Amino acid sequence: MCGIVGCAGSGDTVSNVLTGLENLEYRGYDSAGVALRNGSGIEICKRAGEISALQGTISQRLSSGSIAIGHTRWSTHGPPTDANAHPHTDCTGEVAVVHNGIIENHADLRTALEARGHEFTSDTDTEVVPHLLEEHLAAGRDLAGALRETLSVLDGSYALVVLADGEDALYAARRGSPLLLGVDDDRTFLASDAPAFLEYTDSVVVLEDGDVATVTADGYAVTDADGAPVERAVRSLDWTPEDARKEGYDHYMLKEIHEQPDAVRRAIRGRIDESTGEPTLAFPDGAFADVDRVQLVGCGTSYHAALYGAGLLAREGVDARAILASEYAETTPTLDDRTLVVGVTQSGETADTLGALRHASQRGARTLALTNVLGSTAARECDDALFIRAGPEIGVAASKTFSSQVVTLLLLAATVARDLTGDLSADSRAAVRALTALPDQLQAVIDDTDAGVIAERYARQEAYFFIGRGLAHPVALEGALKFKEISYEHAEGFPAGELKHGPLALVTAETPVFAVFSGRSDEKTLNNVQEVQARGAPVVAVTCEGNDAVLQQADEVLTVPDTHPDLVGVLSTVQLQLISYHVSDLLDRAIDKPRNLAKSVTVE
């Protein structure tokens, strides 16, 4: 959830760390802080609020040095205050620690430490770590040994980076929370996500659970929990520094909406035989021939993509269902070696999704990670991985990753169906072929949208409803989620047919209804539109060009290019993203950093 940056090396390390924190602010923006080791000890500056609040005072508070760490926080234990901001120190002020994750046994550890005379200054779970380190250092351990002793008593998840007076290295460890090394010629970075150091290096080392790393200006060493050396591969990212910048857009979210044509091009590149309409994913022929059922798990936007994928599979006759990852273990689904469980997760680090995948794996199911991040925990732990290739997404509210997830799931669904039946249906083959035109169609939506005009008409209403049927249902859910995430207005999505079973009681002239039409079962959805119009509600339809019945009935229309029904939802989602964006902009909301939310949810 939170953002960690560390830097050991030449140059202005504090500036490097601050730049990294700015690039990671999507992971948390309740408070931020930096610790620096110089020749006379450790200096710390930390503030509640966004990074800008820290930057306003840091130049007067910190000197310069070759080793620094920083943190931007999404609060779990204790409110966002100066005292609760990271880094946290021991009683002597000689050890500073930044931490992502949750130390589950922190209360017991804190009680024991206080009984031994330690004084705490924050409400956080993290603060037990520097005090434990202090004790082990006092007992004669070196810092690496003290860190291992400390790790041995911690329950929960963590990515930890430690800075200590008198040490020319940073020490780091991870379990259940991501931590990367960025390797440059004259400096080495630590970070919870690659955008922190992309403008300095694209060489990345992914630390794995149980790893302990020692980082200096000259390089790094990685050991396991017992101190035995381990090798971790250096990977080159194909992301560029520009991918993690606004590049002239007012918000990252708007930039990422506009990046969807290119993101989808990358998602399908090399994965379609255009002459036959066959998917060409990098799986052996018949790889899924022994699958009896498919379960897709995810959270938030990724769950909506999973719902879409389950609908695509079901249309091909595959036993498929989407399950919220946080509820997966409670649903007691059928799990055996003929069950394929697909974890849909942008970051590959979402705690609830990882928990569901591990639950499935322990019970003998085959697991597949559908993710955006090479080297992520999900990609490493699952039996297979399929990457959506969307590039870095900085805005907290997902946009381009949803489109890339759905497109990749369509290719996967066609592959699974072909392996199970020996051939693709004509409809599925047509959908795969239609993908090749999708990037240009996405660009047409972005270029020709009337979302800004419609947003001005409906920016200040009592509530907003989003309805759809079949594959339009997850699009409606995603439209409502995006709207509530960044506008802070009440929005609700549900199947169109459910209107008359309760939600219709809430419909008034002040509750616009966004109705999504997929090209299938449109007549029934049109009946639902007439139901809300009879109660005075304005209807904004999202539909293909030329759908005359809808065009004549709706009060407002957002059109998308005519395409295969399985792809209409991808185009419709872009229109709803733009509606959410423009309404939120008119309401002056913090679009890229909505309150109470963070990008990568690594706690359960």
Classify residue 141 as exposed, middle or buried by CB count within 10 Å of its CB (0-12, 13-18, 19+).
middle
By three-state DSSP, how is residue 256 classified? Answer: helix
Structure tokens at 556: 């407002």
Work out the end-to-end distance of the chain between its first and last CA atoms, rounded to an integer number of angstroms. Answer: 11
What was the pLDDT predicted at 176?
A: 84
Query: Which of these, 223, 179, 157, lies nearest to 6 by C-alpha position?
Result: 179
**DSSP 8-state assignment for residue 336:** S
432 close to 415: Cβ distance less than 8 angstroms: no
CA distance 163 to 42: 8
As given in the structure block, the two tokens for residue 442 are: 């996405």
pLDDT in tens, 393-406: 888 899 999 999 99
Q: How many CB atoms lie within 10 A of CB 210?
A: 14
Residue 1 confidence class, pLDDT cut points 50, 70, 90: low
Residue 604 reports pLDDT greater than 60: no
**Which residues make beta-bridge pairs with 58?**
none
Half-sphere exposure of 377 (CA within 13 A, CB side): 27
Residue recorded with tokens 């993710």? 371
Under 8 Å between Cβ of 414 and 428 = yes
C-alpha distances out from residue 3 to 25, 86, 190, 379, Å: 7, 10, 11, 21
Catalytic residues: 2, 599
b/e per residue 512-547 (b: at least 16 CB within 10 A): bbbbbbbbbbbeebbebbebbbeeebbbbbbbbeeb
The residue among 190 and 63 whose pLDDT is bigger is 190
- With beta carbons less than 8 A apart as the criterion, state whether 7 and 60 touch: no
Enumerate residues 6+ apart whose C-beta is below 8 A from 485. 396, 397, 580, 594, 597
Domains of the chain, CATH where assigned = 3-238 (3.60.20.10), 252-441 (3.40.50.10490), 449-586 (3.40.50.10490)
Reported confidence tier of residue 195, pLDDT bands at 50, 70, 90: confident
- Predicted confidence (pLDDT) per residue in 197-218, tens digit: 988 899 999 999 999 999 998 8
Task: Tell me what the mean pLDDT of segment 232-258 comes to.
Answer: 84
Q: Which residue has the tokens 């008119």?
A: 586
pLDDT tens per residue, range 338-351: 999 999 999 998 98
Give the single-character DSSP code of 270: T
**Token couple for 393:** 């997404």
Q: Which two tokens stand for residue 431?
A: 């959908």
What is the predicted pLDDT for the residue at 540? 97
> Torsion angle of alpha carbons 199, 200, 201, 204, nearest 10°?
-90
**Could you give phi then psi for residue 521, rounded to 5 degrees?**
60, 30
Give the whole-angstrom CA distance, residue 40 versus residue 33. 19
> Does residue 504 contact residue 532 with C-beta atoms inside 8 Å?
yes
Share of the chain above pLDDT 90, in %: 72
Q: Cα–Cα distance between 245 and 428 in angstroms, integer?
A: 37
pLDDT above 70 covers a percentage of the chain that reads: 97
Question: Is 53 or 137 the better-scoring residue by pLDDT?
Answer: 137
What is the structure's pLDDT at 389? Answer: 95
Determine the average pLDDT of the residues in 285-304. Answer: 97
- Higher-pLDDT residue of 570 and 40 is 570
How far is the C-alpha of 209 from the C-alpha of 49, rounded, in Å? 31
How many whole angstroms separate alpha carbon 491 and alpha carbon 485? 9
Residues 448-467: tens digit of each pLDDT: 999 999 999 999 999 999 99
d(CA 206, CA 181): 6
The contacts of residue 448 (CB under 8 Å, 6+ apart) are: none
- The single-letter DSSP state of residue 208 is -
Helix H or strand E encompassing 478: helix 472-487
* pLDDT computed for residue 241 by the predictor: 66
Average pLDDT, the chain: 92
Q: Do residues 334 and 195 make contact, with C-beta atoms less than 8 angstroms apart?
A: no
At residue 237 the predicted structure's pLDDT band, cuts being 50, 70 and 90, is: confident
410 has a pLDDT exceeding 90: yes
Q: Region of 25 please: left (phi>0), alpha (psi -120 to 50) or beta.
A: alpha
Q: Is the peptide bond before 392 cis (omega within 30 degrees of 0)?
A: no
548-566 average pLDDT score: 95
Q: Are strands 212-216 and 170-175 parallel, antiparallel or unpaired?
A: antiparallel
Beta bridge partners of 273: 278
- The pLDDT of 1-30, averaged and rounded, is 84
Residue (of 147, 146, 163, 160) closest to 102 by Cα position: 160
Q: What is the distance of C-alpha 135 from the center of its chain?
A: 37
Q: Is the pLDDT of residue 54 over 90?
A: no
What is the model's pLDDT at position 244? 67
